[in-house]
Amino acid sequence: MTNESKPRVYLVGTGGSISFVGRTRTDYTNYSYDGKHLTIDELLGRVPEALEFADVRTEQFLNLGSTDVTPDHWLGLAKRINQIFRDDPDAAGVAVTHGTATLEETAYFLNLTVKDSRPVVVTGAMRPPTGLGTDSDVNLIDSIRVAAAPQSVGRGVLTILNNQIQAAREVTKTNSYRLETFQAADFGFLGYADSDEQVVFYRRTDRAHTVDSEFDVEGIDQLPRIDIAPAYAGADGLVIRALAATGVDGLVAAGLGSGSSPPPFMAGLKEVSDAGLPVVIATGTGSGRVMQTRRFTEDGYIVADNLMPKKARILLMLALTKTKDKAEIQRMMLAY
């Protein structure tokens, strides 16, 4: 096959462990301290096999650890990917390399703001390319394979690590070091990019995304500021009142269990909500729903259903670019 007849995949580098250069082959922990990264071309150069699957066009969007990634970067990346799709109607898809720390957040933001049904596939690595047994190379190839595969179209933004394809809405990093860290607690993975060279899917996510999303970041230069207040035994609302006093645009409470939290914490939430701040209640448990109970409804809260707090924050940011109406924001929380 000539390059021209292969699907064209844009490979966008943003940094992360998948790019970090450690000092030794057994450095799995301190490798980020020198701040040295391979470029996206160097990463691709390690895996010429990837070119069997696609004609790959690289671009270096950022080269940072993902703890340095901010909502401003999300805006820029979403706009850049939309531009790629606009400029190249024949592009098969886009693969993005990213640090694992905030990978799920960037992926979910893109899931709501990329205006194309072609695949956007985000990958990272738990071991840097300089480490023994690194997962960088396989994850990179897999991201290109999944982005090139026609069966990936129309499934929203995907993540791939450890051969497992996951939905951006559902996936969460669950372990600080293990390779199988990315999981989707209530749902399981969508499919595999496997060693028989097949990209196989078993299900699709049901919530709206990409072309069905009502959010448009084209004219937006700054997102509303939303913070997350975690609940725990003895949490008394100090953090909630302090955040509200700094002028945040909204709050997500990472509540206990089904969303209820210590009474003084709930009193803090009620106070700021009554003063007009949009408050979303999510669960801090790692999975499960927060329901529109009588109390939450009477008290004027928006509930996150089973969106985890970090993702409810992203959705609230985008919702507030369109409306301040709580009922409308609640509708959005249940739709995406």
- As given in the structure block, the two tokens for residue 216 are 């448009």
Stretch that binds ligand ASP, among 64-72, 129-137, 223-231, 315-323 (CB under 6 A): 64-72
Distance in Å, CB of 18 to ligand ASP, minimum: 6
Place of tokens 């898809």: 93
Stretch that binds ligand ASP, among 60-68, 137-145, 200-208, 213-221 (CB under 6 A): 60-68
Distance in Å, CB of 17 to ligand ASP, minimum: 3
Which positions from 246 to 265 touch ligand ASP by CB under 6 A, shown as an x/- string? --------------------
| Residues 27-46, interacting with ligand ASP (CB under 6 A) | 32
Spatial CA neighbour of 13 closest among 176, 140, 157: 140
Paired with 303 in beta bridges are 281
Contact 73, 79 (CB under 8 A): no
Tell me which of 100, 111, 130, 159 binds ligand ASP, using CB under 6 A. Answer: 100
User: Does residue 65 bind ligand ASP (CB under 6 A)?
Assistant: yes
Distance in Å, CB of 125 to ligand ASP, minimum: 6
Tell me which of 7, 71, 93, 99 binds ligand ASP, using CB under 6 A. Answer: 99
- As given in the structure block, the two tokens for residue 124 are 């990272």
Pairwise CA distance, residues 95 & 119, whole Å: 8
User: In this structure, how many other beta carbons lie within 10 angstroms of the beta carbon of residue 116?
Assistant: 19
Contact 252, 305 (CB under 8 A): no
Spatial CA neighbour of 182 closest among 306, 154, 190: 190
CA angle 247, 253, 272 (to 5 degrees): 40
User: Does residue 17 bind ligand ASP (CB under 6 A)?
Assistant: yes
Q: How many residues does the chain have?
A: 336
- In the chain, what is the straight-line distance between the N-terminal and C-terminal CA atoms, in Å? 40
Tell me which of 7, 16, 191, 278 binds ligand ASP, using CB under 6 A. Answer: 16
Distance in Å, CB of 180 to ligand ASP, minimum: 13
Q: Which is nearer to ligand ASP, 70 or 323 (CB)?
A: 70
Pairwise CA distance, residues 161 & 21, whole Å: 19
User: Does residue 124 bind ligand ASP (CB under 6 A)?
Assistant: yes
Stretch that binds ligand ASP, among 49-57, 93-101, 209-217, 283-291 (CB under 6 A): 93-101
User: In this structure, how many other beta carbons lie within 10 angstroms of the beta carbon of residue 10?
Assistant: 24
Residues lying near ligand ASP in the complex (CB under 6 A):
16-17, 32, 65-67, 99-101, 124, 126
